Structure 1
Amino acid sequence: MNKKAGNFKKEPKEFEYEFFGPTGALAVFLLTTVVLFGLYFGCNENGCPAYPQKILSMIYDAKFIDVYSFQLYLCWLGALILAWHVLPGEWVKGTPIDEKGSRLDYKMNGFATASLVLGVTSGFIYMKGPECMELIWSRFLPLMTSAYIVSIFLSIYCYISSFIGQKRLAEGGNSGNIVYDWFIGRLLNPRIGNFDIKVFSELRPGLILWVLLDIAFACRQYVLLNGRITDSMVLVLVFHSWYVLDSLFYENAVLTTMDVTTDGLGYMLCLGNLAWVPFTYGLQARYLSFHPVDLGIPCTIAIIFLQLLGYYIFRGTNSQKNMFRNNPTDPSVKNLKYMETKRGTKLLIDGWYGKSRHINYFGDWLMAWAWCLPVGFGSAIPYFYVAYFAVLLIHRYGRDDHKCHQKYGEDWNKYCQIVKYRIIPYVY
């Protein structure tokens, strides 16, 4: 169903590095590795140590990997790939990949896959009891190591395969420097037949595993508290599951993101999708599994309101953007004001996107606070997500702004004068 793209290798006259070039890429690689494992040892079921000696002792005694956990993770990936092939799903076209307007086809059945996984998990828990999920939560560290190893191998595979045959390359990952191109991603659309590796890994292995880990931690708390789970755990589990299922329900929206249209599949995306998302985004559920927190009705209502507000902004903005791009004559967007560019494309200056250039980021960040606040203030570790996410969104905005300035030139300057705020209206 796919149109075979030709060899689009392009050597830019003056390559512009991101992340401070090869040295910065290497530094980010080391830093993400340290943070990924450091968060686990910084706060876990053995306590939240505040001094280095105890952390070093825990690292020395830890079992980072075992054959069974690695096999379990590979089986997880295999099951998801099988589900992609077997379960029904709509085939949709992505954005144009060349000047001729050629588009790749993508099978969208992520929501069906997640529904199947959650259905099987629920049935397993019903028949065997919550104790059965010890299979997962007790192997958190070796499973995380397994995901980390697979992400490294996948990024190496994509880098090597980018030199074989006719492949479309990501301009930002075609510098000629091995370390940088491996990190940022040299191959834009890694595929095996119709199976798109990047789009598959973007929303499935990490996001669905994130919810599965949350369920395992909720089961552990249920056992720990002799048959109950706290209101805080319920909130975290519902919010995380809601976010994941919503993302998979609107799976085709990922096709217009920078990750898919611009970035190659390198270490940055491989680690983020396979290891970073499931093993750091669920820090709150893991913390609550060994440090239960009872919120009470007033706090619960306030946090739910924050989540709903964030979701309203996040989903409203993304839906409006996608509708404007794909069906500008739809009644919901046809009366919105926009700015014509010399490239022939249109930039929204009305509706949600008349308030700020990336107001969807603001909604996403509000939800991040709703996910973290249920844990209380016993440790700073569960709040890593909200701090990290703020840095990520600001950095992502900077990357997007730079690329848009290159793409639209003076038109982008005019657009920024009309829509003055970057993310938070009247603030930033």
Structure 2
Amino acid sequence: MSQTDDSLLLGISAPIFRDAAGRLFIESQTISGLKAWRENFARVTAFSICHDAPPPAGWADAAAEGIAAPEIAIVPLPDTYDLKTLLRQRRTLSGQMLQLMRETQYHTFAYGGWIGDPGEIAASVARRHGIPHAVWFDRVESQVVRAESGKSLPARLKSALRAAIFTRNENRAVRSADLSLLHGATVFRHFSKIARNPHQVEDVHFTDGDRVDADVIAAKANAAAEGPLRILYCGRAAAMKGPLDWIRVLVGLKAQGVDFEAHWLGEGEMLAEMRAAAAEGGLTETELRFEGFVSDPARVRDFYRRAHLLLFCHLSDESPRNLIESLHSATPLVGYRDPYSAELTGEQGAGLLVPRGDTDALVASLAALDADRPRLSELIRRAGASAAHLTRDEVFRHRSDIIRSQLNQPHR
């Protein structure tokens, strides 16, 4: 491998699926990311765990989407989260990782942190052989484990043990990596004090063409003067997203007599519990609709653009793309404060934030906003002016420039 090869070895977090005909299926936004990386590097080699099973909704045929060697080579890995598979194949897999690193110039790995995580295996190989590498975090996995803990004592003890393992591995990764790519201000603040070389980056798959224009912003702001308050969340129904807090806020709004239409886009393990909480709180289908997984990007954009605001109740340190996507659609942010949400809203004042976990404060903020429609219209205009620099092309170019500047050194 020549040092002028300008190739990237990329560990991705979303699993690959292989059907009975041997076709590989990759998550649609991961495909978008692979193409963006290829626009910045001469060639890309990406690896992830592969399941021999029909793909779920949201995964697309990689070859049909133009993902093919040599420009973008995909390396399917065995399911190393399975302990027996890990013990049986770790040595072979480590050798394979080493060979891939020797065949590429730059190396960056999405990092999960659990035993058998491919990013952890790759980072371990790089550490042992003195190979410059980067690790990528868009959330603090140890906090996610705690947020998703069950209520029983055995469940809490199990989560505490898992969180301790995640914490140890996360900290070791950022202390040892030549570069830590940390998505968003919240994740950056969490790791920056212990990381060897931390850099804050962003992640979004919306392009300039996905942004609403000035005419749409003006029409949306004017239309917000009347009618039900239109509330949206787009993401997984998982504990870290605070879905029961989200329902609790809607129930509180109804108790105050606020007229609203809310939509939750996304599947997840807590969807049934959300439905039960909504029914118990007396929410009707007119007030709340669960849309499930929406695969059509154009339809997702339409939901963002129609909404008056994105309501979010994130309970762990993460940097979800939906906040940036919302701003691209002139939809202000109302939710729990953390460095990431504060930085995004602080740019133009495009939102209202309350302390994490304070659902009463969220209810009060939303009720006040419903009663003050000129203020809502102003927030919509401010959202439309926000995050103009955070587009797919810009954030991937920024990340690529950092990788080159920080990892451009000979292998040892």
TM-score category (smaller protein):
under 0.3
Which protein is richer in helix relative to its size? 1
Give the alignment's TM-score, normalised by structure 2: 0.26
Give the alignment's TM-score, normalised by structure 1: 0.25
